[in-house]
């Protein structure tokens, strides 16, 4: 949650939306198309009088005309009932030809494609209606082709059940009260034809869904059509319910619309989303025709590119200061009485984490297809950010021990001895958390941003430990301040050491507030632009704050810097 909202992630969201937009807008890759060989369907034996052929010598230039002719031949069919294999053969040829239309770049005009789509829909509905045969009880016919799946269900006067039938195709299904409809007919019979078109979205593009707000539209389901062929009274007794399986990844910020196709556009009238979860949506409609599920997501806004730039600059600036702080800590080893181990490791963990995060998000489009790499990166990020927090906790614990027993503050030997041990703890805790998470929910790693997946609460493998550490640190600091103030009243000796300790406590507290608060803020950024920008700045400037607190505001370090620059100056003068 928190991380998903982070400013740092703005870059990948826009990248992702761009990719989504591309998938939506571009068609199938255009291949070199050989001249089409005419193919004859429907051998005489299967159905006399039905001879549907694709014209001779169709090429990518003339395929549009060939398809028109083919569809006209189908429209000219007069037979009321056709055998299943004739229908599937004709459909195969028709969809084969309509796919060729898409491959030929010359006729990529969307309006033209939509008009082909209309005719393909109409002829398919006509063809499938020829599968309906009179029945006394109930009957069904179904077929599954590469491009289209069809289900026909018929009931007659002696139907023996009351249950609402449900017709299923691979990725969608329909529930319609056919029994009720049959009862309203004089013949007491009715039939429903349900078709799911796997490639129709290329003709009836989601961009034909016109809305007032300018959004990116993505087809989330196959295009389906439901009709009541050879049924006199087609008035619905109950709304018809369609269950769509999402054929693309659902974006939680997107909004879903159940739409139907009316000649030249997708419109919502009479359809509504009944219920939805991440992988299925149920639509309810009060009429029948051709339907689909379209998701709207906001465009990668123009103003966001400024935010992206701000983000990039901030993160790089943070990284530079992290490095400067590390360099300074390395040079600050002389400073007696100060244990830098925790501080150095906070810097190392966060520097690596921010760097890895920046690189991952910049090259997301390259990394994302490599599932394993993506998961490994998200595991590594989890480990690095967590160890940053563990080190922050260790620093507070060390400070607490120092304050409890002020005399130990300068026993350098002890600290040097323990720093190896500290390193083991500092990194082992984070490693254990990551290992346990991998062991329990391996699929929790590698979201679309190569971070931990937000769904199913797996993000708590990060937020959980972070919250525990933030709470523990708060308690520790309250204790430290209480101890310090009581020592201050009791102790008169060692005033200078006292003063030094107070400064260290103050600085560590400041560091905790800066590092901890930037993450806490992450919980509240939802929807607020100002908070988002604030979070972006605070979170990316962790290195800058550490540098300010420990290096710029440190007398001793300042002295060393002065010496260093004076030396540089001397060298130049010689």
Ligand X SMILES: *[C@@H]1O[C@H](CO)[C@@H](O)[C@H](O)[C@H]1NC(C)=O
Closer of 354 and 368 to ligand X (Cβ): 368
Contact 229, 185 (CB under 8 A): no
Closer of 28 and 72 to ligand X (Cβ): 72
Closer of 4 and 242 to ligand X (Cβ): 242
Closer of 241 and 542 to ligand X (Cβ): 241
Smallest distance, ligand X to C-beta of residue 525, A: 18
Neighbour count for residue 126 (Cβ, 10 Å): 15
Contact 401, 482 (CB under 8 A): no
Neighbour count for residue 188 (Cβ, 10 Å): 14
Mention every residue, 6+ apart, whose C-beta is less than 8 A from residue 386. 429, 430, 433, 434, 462, 465, 466
Sequence length of the chain is: 574
CA-to-CA distance for 339 and 412, rounded, in angstroms?
A: 8
Closest to 202 in 3D by CA, of 123, 272, 103, 280: 103
Task: Give the pairing of strands 172-175 and 166-168.
Answer: antiparallel
Smallest distance, ligand X to C-beta of residue 156, A: 10
Smallest distance, ligand X to C-beta of residue 245, A: 6
Mention every residue, 6+ apart, whose C-beta is less than 8 A from residue 398. 339, 342
Question: Residue 221 has what DSSP assignment?
Answer: S
Closer of 282 and 476 to ligand X (Cβ): 282
Smallest distance, ligand X to C-beta of residue 11, A: 20
Question: Residue 410 has what DSSP assignment?
Answer: G
Q: In this structure, is the dihedral angle defined by the CA atoms of residues 6, 8, 11 and 15, taken in order, positive or negative?
A: negative
Smallest distance, ligand X to C-beta of residue 261, A: 9
**Contact positions toward ligand X, by CB under 6 A?**
36-37, 39, 44, 51, 53, 69, 72-73, 76, 92-93, 96, 138-140, 161, 164, 170-171, 175-177, 198, 211-213, 215, 222, 233, 235, 238-241, 245, 247, 255, 262-263, 269, 274, 277-280, 282, 284, 296, 298
Contact 131, 91 (CB under 8 A): no
- Residue 509, exposed/middle/buried by CB under 10 A (0-12, 13-18, 19+)? middle
Closer of 212 and 489 to ligand X (Cβ): 212
What does the DSSP assignment read for 174-185?
Answer: EE--HHHHHHTS
Question: Residue 44 has what DSSP assignment?
Answer: T
CA-to-CA distance for 136 and 115, rounded, in angstroms?
A: 39
Closer of 212 and 336 to ligand X (Cβ): 212
Closer of 268 and 533 to ligand X (Cβ): 268
What are φ and ψ of residue 311, in 5° steps?
-60, -50
CA-to-CA distance for 62 and 74, rounded, in angstroms?
A: 19
Smallest distance, ligand X to C-beta of residue 563, A: 59
Smallest distance, ligand X to C-beta of residue 72, A: 4
CA-to-CA distance for 206 and 220, rounded, in angstroms?
A: 9
Smallest distance, ligand X to C-beta of residue 391, A: 38
Smallest distance, ligand X to C-beta of residue 294, A: 11
Question: Residue 82 has what DSSP assignment?
Answer: -
Closer of 183 and 245 to ligand X (Cβ): 245
Closer of 36 and 389 to ligand X (Cβ): 36
Smallest distance, ligand X to C-beta of residue 382, A: 24
């Amino acid at each position: 949650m928190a991380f998903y909202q982070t400013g740092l992630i703005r870059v990948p969201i826009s990248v992702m939306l761009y990719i989504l937009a591309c998938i939506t807008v571009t068609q199938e890759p255009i291949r070199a198309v050989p001249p089409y060989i005419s193919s004859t369907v429907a051998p005489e034996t299967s159905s006399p009088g039905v001879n549907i052929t694709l014209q001779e010598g169709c090429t990518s230039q003339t395929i549009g005309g060939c398809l028109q002719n083919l569809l006209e031949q189908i429209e000219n069919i007069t037979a009321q009932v056709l055998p299943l294999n004739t229908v599937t053969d004709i459909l195969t040829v028709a969809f084969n030809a309509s796919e060729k239309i898409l491959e030929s770049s010359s006729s990529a005009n969307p309006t033209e494609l939509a008009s082909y789509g209309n005719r393909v829909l109409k002829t398919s509905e006509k063809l499938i209606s020829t599968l309906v045969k009179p029945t006394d009880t109930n009957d069904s016919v179904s077929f599954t082709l590469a491009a289209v799946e069809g289900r026909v269900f018929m009931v007659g006067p002696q139907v023996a059940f009351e249950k609402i039938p449900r017709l299923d195709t691979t990725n969608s299904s329909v529930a319609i009260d056919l029994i009720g409809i049959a009862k309203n007919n004089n013949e007491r019979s009715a039939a429903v034809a349900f078709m799911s078109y796997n490639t129709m979205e290329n003709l009836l593009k989601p961009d034909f869904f016109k809305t007032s707000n300018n959004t990116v539209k993505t087809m989330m389901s196959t295009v389906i059509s439901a009709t009541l062929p050879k049924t006199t009274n087609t008035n619905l007794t109950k709304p018809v319910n369609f269950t769509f399986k999402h054929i693309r990844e659902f974006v939680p910020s997107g909004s879903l619309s159940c739409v139907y196709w009316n000649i030249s556009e997708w419109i919502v009238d009479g359809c509504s989303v009944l219920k939805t979860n991440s992988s299925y949506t149920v639509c309810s409609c009060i009429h029948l025709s051709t339907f689909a599920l379209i998701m709207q997501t906001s465009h990668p806004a123009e103003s966001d590119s400024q935010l992206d730039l701000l983000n990039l600059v901030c993160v790089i600036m943070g990284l530079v200061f992290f490095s400067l702080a590390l360099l300074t800590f390395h040079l600050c080893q002389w400073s007696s009485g100060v244990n830098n181990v925790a501080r150095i490791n906070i810097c190392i963990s966060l520097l690596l984490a921010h760097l890895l995060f920046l690189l991952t998000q910049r090259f997301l489009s390259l990394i994302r297809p490599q599932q394993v790499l993506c998961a490994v990166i998200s595991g590594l990020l989890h480990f690095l950010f967590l160890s940053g927090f563990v080190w922050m906790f260790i620093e507070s614990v060390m400070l607490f021990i120092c304050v409890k027993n002020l005399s130990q503050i300068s026993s350098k030997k002890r600290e040097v001895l323990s720093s190896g041990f500290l390193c083991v703890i500092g990194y082992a805790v984070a490693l254990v958390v990551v290992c346990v998470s991998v062991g329990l929910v391996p699929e929790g790693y590698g979201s679309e941003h190569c971070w931990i997946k937000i769904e199913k609460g797996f993000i708590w493998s990060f937020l959980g430990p972070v919250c525990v550490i933030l709470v523990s640190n708060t308690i520790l600091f309250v204790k430290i301040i209480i101890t310090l103030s009581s020592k201050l009243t009791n102790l008169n000796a060692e005033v200078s050491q006292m003063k030094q300790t107070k400064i260290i406590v103050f600085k560590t507290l400041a560091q905790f507030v800066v590092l901890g608060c930037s993450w806490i803020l992450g919980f509240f950024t939802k929807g607020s632009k100002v908070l988002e920008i604030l979070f972006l700045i605070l979170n990316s400037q962790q290195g800058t704050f550490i540098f300010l607190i420990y290096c710029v505001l440190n007398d001793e370090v300042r002295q060393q810097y002065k010496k260093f620059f004076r030396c540089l100056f001397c060298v130049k003068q010689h």
